[in-house]
Amino acid sequence: LTEWLRPECGADIYVVGLQEMVDLTAKNILTVTGNVERQQDFDAKFWRVLRSMGEFVKVRSVALVGLYIAVFMRQELSTEIRGLDCDRVKTGAGGSAGNKGA
């Protein structure tokens, strides 16, 4: 992860998107939240790298089936966040299943 985050750049905000965070079964496609355990595992690994780069906070994360997006930013900038809103929309099978391609 360190190579991807490039600490030498000194970024203030990191937005990370991952896919295939669940085994694609019929049951999982109907699940909105995805695999929470895998998400937490990724967050823990990401936090280990971020801690070496300064003080960061997790602004928000959201998952839909196998997709997971997380936003992290420097602690000192977190007071600038206002009116944060995010959601997930199922678009597959007439709105009853997740579909990342829609």
Contacts 24+ apart (CB under 8 A), 36-40: 36/63, 38/68, 39/63, 39/68, 39/70
Which distant-in-sequence residues (6+ apart) come within 8 Å of 56 by Cβ? 14, 47, 50, 72, 73, 74, 75
Q: What are phi and psi of 26, to 5 degrees?
A: -60, -40
Each of the 102 residues of the chain gets a pLDDT tens digit; together they read 777 777 778 889 999 888 776 666 666 655 656 677 888 888 898 888 888 888 999 998 887 777 788 999 999 998 888 888 777 666 666 655 556 543
pTM, entire model: 0.74
Q: How many other C-beta atoms lie within 10 A of the C-beta of residue 97? A: 17
Strands 67-74, 13-18: pairing kind: antiparallel
